[in-house]
Amino acid sequence: MAKASALGRGLGALLSEIEEAYDNELPKKNGIEEIAVSKVRPNPYQPRKHFDPESLAELAESIKTHGLLQPIVVKEDIDGYILIAGERRLRASKLAKLKTIKAIIVSVSDEQMREHALIENIQRDELNAIDLAQAYQELIEIHELTHDQLSQTVHKSRAQITNTLRLLQLNEKGKKALIDGKISAGHAKVIIGLEPSEQSLIIDSIIGQKLSVRDVEQMVKKIKSHDSILAPQIGKFPELDFKQLQSLLEQMGLKSSKKGSKLTIDFESNGQIGTFLATLSS
């Protein structure tokens, strides 16, 4: 609990300092300076990994036309500056070929810099679902927070935090598909809890057949039902005869291989997956 309180005080002081500088956007005496763009290094604690190129290009054009309306926030380093807040503005300014950029220079610790990068992005809704989940997880681990304590700190509901953190249970293919917008958060929530191979199979089907969340719910229900039927039987049969099943798969144009009591099916396209799933559903 003490760590949660310390987080709140330190972060509040930092945000107040930055907001005060924004509200008093006057020359150097109020903390705003023109610094060389080339001397600003990215924040090593930036939780946001993905920046939309089209959005950055639009911001760059706006900066060319109207100038940078809101300064970035940096801290001084040995041979330049480290960015604390405003990575989109910095990237867009580089695209706009600016040599200098308006900046607020503050004195903060590495821990404060890390906290601010996480919470600024969370509060501004600038993270995709996976980056957001990782940001939540990082704050929880750094400060040993409960979901309720994190909820109070970042002003998000406890349910939203818990549901977002569950997305980290996706396999790597699922995380990438969600980041790329190929599946929705609704799709993702349905397949959480399945084996990685089962997740991959359903993700291919979602993408290949444009399945709705409802369609995926039905698929997952069948998979879980099938598993619950087979579970009591596991271990009863030392050797299973797959000949008839392999023959049926061959008629469907599918290749399979058998090892002990396991049968592996090789799919070469989304179409084959769709045919296989349609046969199961019939």
* Spatial CA neighbour of 196 closest among 210, 227, 182, 175: 175
d(CA 203, CA 197): 10
Counted residue by residue, the chain has a size of 282
Active site members: 87
Instruction: Report DSSP state, residue 212.
Output: -
Helix or strand (DSSP H, E) at 66: helix 53-66
Instruction: Report DSSP state, residue 42.
Output: P
Residues whose CB is less than 8 angstroms from the CB of residue 121 and which lie 6 or more positions away in sequence, other chains included: 46, 47, 48, 127, 131, 132, 135
The first and second tokens of residue 222, run together, are: 């069948």
Question: What residues form DSSP beta bridges with 34?
Answer: 102
Please compute, for residue 192, the number of CA atoms within 13 A of its CA located in the half-sphere on the CB side: 17
The first and second tokens of residue 272, run together, are: 């084959």
Q: Give the number of other Cβ atoms within 10 Å of residue 193's Cβ.
A: 12
User: Would you say 138 and 170 are in contact if contact means Cβ atoms under 8 Å apart?
Assistant: no
Please give the angle made by the CA atoms of 184, 187 and 191, to the nearest 5 degrees: 140
